[in-house]
A and B are shown apart, each in its own frame.
Chain A
């Protein structure tokens, strides 16, 4: 895997995780 692909996958992982965590946090906080 090239260095470029590794960098991109890491950044994509950060973005997707942020998206999922923000929804998950309020989902569980609101007891849905």
Chain B
């Protein structure tokens, strides 16, 4: 089990009091601009992510407002396409990924007994690239022709037909990719080289393992996306025809390259979520994680398999049957290591001394809904079914079960779990539970019914629909408004915790046993592990 460490005689011994708590040379806003502290940068990532979550969520509600009833009410189809594009890009690159990088920054050094990230200044730069990239995405709405309406996949040849907003988006993707690669290099270097003596790889908490594997995925996959959008850029402005059929290029080539990045991207988002859940469930089951080694191997297997399944996103482009079969079987194979993880989480809870505080509620919610999302993924991996369901709301429902109920629920679980450690204050448990139940109910209101819409044939990315789809769309839209408002409650809970929360005990969760809980005081000081802990 992770972090089975000697907790005797080392608790709090090396950690910050007095001068160690100072926040660098600057105060106010300059502290945040110039900070090289992993905790500050983690906080910046998390607040940035929440801000982008609200921006992308606002767009989602605008989309659901338009789809509340048939006909064109508020947006022309072009603006609707722009909203769906920016909603996807902002949520994937601006909200979910930075949220887990925020967790990585806060937690990895503390969990492995390191004083900070390996490259503290690079860490600062990795973060500060993000606001500029996000600004470019949002500014693209105000350029001639508006934001690109190409979908978050930025498919060719649509990219060649867009206005200047497309260039801003491509540049934003470059910046976001740079930020991710630099962050990943930092994370890999920190984990490989800066672990405390005795913290062997197979004693690392699973959250650290999942991030190590995710960081490798990012280093391998992000340059592929950067290559794809760079080729789109040269097709637009420099006379090449990589993807432009009119010049002898191939639009399907773009899809292959994009999804060679795109499917690992799904696991880049999901694996750190698995890591958070693998910390939360044992803590609230008061048992070690069941099958620690198999969890590590399963995570690695998922990462490797993620590179050989990309064409299941494009069964309908016209590929040979042998190709379809290969990608179908490879995709169904991913269910094996994923199943190992789900069974291990359930086995961890089995006969555990369970309690159901908010982090555990979100973790169990994750377990139910992510498994459902995985199962619909298995349905979509089957070629004959996928050909029927391609580009319908069934696909929208499927990936939101993975992205929202998977990644976002895990992020909420992580925030409630570590907030007492970060701030030294307890959140309001009653409000936390209300937040969970409202999120759970409204999430299913939005997305469960979209399976029915997809099965009935409603296409995605279209602002209008026949009357027969009206009822489920109304329910979905009402769910979306409820879900959006509920997240304001989350903001209130976090702010209330920071300002007025009750003092957190040293160990608020009995079963939590990784280094940040066993070796550091609550709240955690500004500088930690200046002297590495001794682990036996």
Contacts and interface: CB of A to CB of B under 8 A. Distances in A.
B136 to A, nearest CB: 20
Nearest to A16: B223
A23 B230 contact: yes
B231 interface: yes
Interface string A1-32: 00110011001101110110011001100101
Q: Which of B188, B223, B240 has the most CB of A within 10 A?
A: B223
Interface string B256-299: 01000000000000000000000000000000000000000000
Nearest to B122: A8
Given A4-B189, A26-B231, A30-B248, A19 B219 contact: no
> What is the predominant secondary structure among interface residues of chain B facing chain A?
helix
Given A15-B181, A23-B231, A30-B249, A7 B224 contact: no
Nearest to B260: A22
Interface in B167-205: 181, 184-186, 188-189, 192-194
Contact of A30 (B119, B184, B242): B242
A8 B223 contact: no
B231 A11 contact: no
Contacts of B188: 7, 11
B455 interface: no
Given A3-B193, A7-B193, A12 B242 contact: no
Contacts of B339: none
A23 B227 CA distance: 6
Contacts of B220: 14, 18
B231 A12 contact: no
Contacts of A4: 118-119, 189, 193-194
A3 B185 CA distance: 13
Contact of B227 (A11, A14, A19, A32): A19
Contact of B222 (A8, A15, A23, A27): A15
Q: What class of interface size applies to chain B in its complex with A? A: 20 to 34
Given A26-B242, A30-B242, A7 B226 contact: no
B189 A22 contact: no
Nearest to A11: B185
A23 B192 CA distance: 31
A8 B227 contact: no
B253 interface: yes
Interface string B201-216: 0000000000000000
Contact of A7 (B189, B222, B223, B241): B189
B223 A15 contact: yes
Contacts of A14: 219-220
Nearest to B178: A15
A17 B326 CA distance: 28
Interface string B336-350: 000000000000000
A2 to B, nearest CB: 9
A19 B223 contact: yes
A16 B182 CA distance: 12
B185 to A, nearest CB: 5
Interface of A: 3-4, 7-8, 11-12, 14-16, 18-19, 22-23, 26-27, 30, 32
8 contacts: A7-B193, A8-B185, A8-B189, A15-B181, A15-B185, A18-B227, A26-B257, A27-B240
Given A15-B181, A18-B227, 8 more contacts: A7-B118, A7-B185, A7-B188, A7-B192, A12-B181, A18-B220, A23-B227, A30-B241
